[in-house]
Amino acid sequence: MIFLNKIKRFGLFGTLMLALGSCSSPLKQMTYMHDAKLDELYPRMPLPPPYTIRPNDQLYISVVSENREETDFLNLSFSVGVGGAYGMELLTYLVDENGNISYPKLGEVYVAGLTLLEARDKIQKLVDHYVLNTSVVVKLANRTFTVLGDVNGGGLIQMPKNQYTIFEAIGAAGGVSDGGNRQKVRLIRETPEGTRIVNIDLTDDALLSSDYYYILPNDVIYVEPNNYRVYSTRTLPWLSQASFAASLLTTAFLILNLFK
């Protein structure tokens, strides 16, 4: 029974240490912008560089004119808008691995590496060979980003506007969970030169002047687990097994005592 009591005390001690560990995370890891000073005016960050088109992007493209019949052959579909006004159902064009889109009548158009405005101007010049006094609209269809890790609701998320901050992105994912480390947030960004991975500290006010304050379409944000999450993941299974073993020993001793 002395041995059994030691096991029980050890299990109780482990559980107590785990509970204390849950309270050991410093305040800085639990709050956003911990170093920010109240009532201080921070300089406005310049907007991020325009997004450049890359292979596998999907583009919404439409050609608009006062007389829609003149541009029917350049648009695959129309829809009738509210009040009888003609609206346009924007169509999706996939940028292939060579950086081209296949556009009706215009043929293959190379758009990789161009901004949306540059792609619009390029397509506009091609359209002008067929019809004058038109307006070309080019939008990015896959304006999304991904949030992974210790957040309350991650996944693939739509960007509702062009300028979207890292805080808005985290907020759209439900915020960092109790098991997330706000000081270790990885931002993975595809660039023309390759993939770039940077660490972002959501508790540091220096983020307001960082080049990564604004996110871009197709960014991936990964929130790493904090020390408690890592500790509990490693320890809880072991404590559970120890508790189960102690229960078995207790049952065995009780049965043996019944037959004495």
pTM: 0.69
Q: How confident is the model at residue 250 (pLDDT cuts 50, 70, 90)?
A: low
The string over 178-198, giving b where at least 16 C-beta atoms fall within 10 Å of a residue's C-beta and e elsewhere, is ebbbbbbbebebeeeeeeeee
Task: Note whether residue 253 is domain-resident.
Answer: yes
pLDDT digits (tens, 9 = 90+) for 162-175: 889 999 999 999 99
Tell me what the mean pLDDT of segment 40-65 comes to: 85
**For residues 145 and 247, which has the higher predicted lDDT (pLDDT)?**
145
Distance CA 234, CA 228 (A): 10
Most confident of 10-19, 67-76, 89-98, 218-227: 218-227
Q: Look at residue 28 and tell me whether its pLDDT is greater than 90.
A: no
219 and 182 assigned to the same domain: yes
Tokens of 212: 């990564």
Domain identity same for 155 and 175: yes
Are both 254 and 197 inside the same structural domain? no
The per-residue pLDDT for 257 is 67
Percentage, residues of the chain above pLDDT 70: 65
pLDDT band at 22 (very low <50, low <70, confident <90, very high): very low
Q: Is the pLDDT of residue 87 over 50?
A: no
Judge if 216 and 148 occupy the same domain. yes
252/212 same-domain check: no
pLDDT digits (tens, 9 = 90+) for 127-176: 999 999 999 999 999 999 999 999 999 999 999 888 899 999 999 999 99
* 219 found inside a domain: yes
Cα–Cα dist 111/45, whole Å? 29
Structural domains of the chain, count:
3
Structural domain that includes position 125: 58-140
Residues 185 and 217 in one domain: yes
Are 97 and 106 a contacting pair, CB within 8 Å? no
pLDDT, position 85: 37
Sheet holding 194-200, edge to edge: 155-158, 144-149, 220-225, 180-191, 194-200
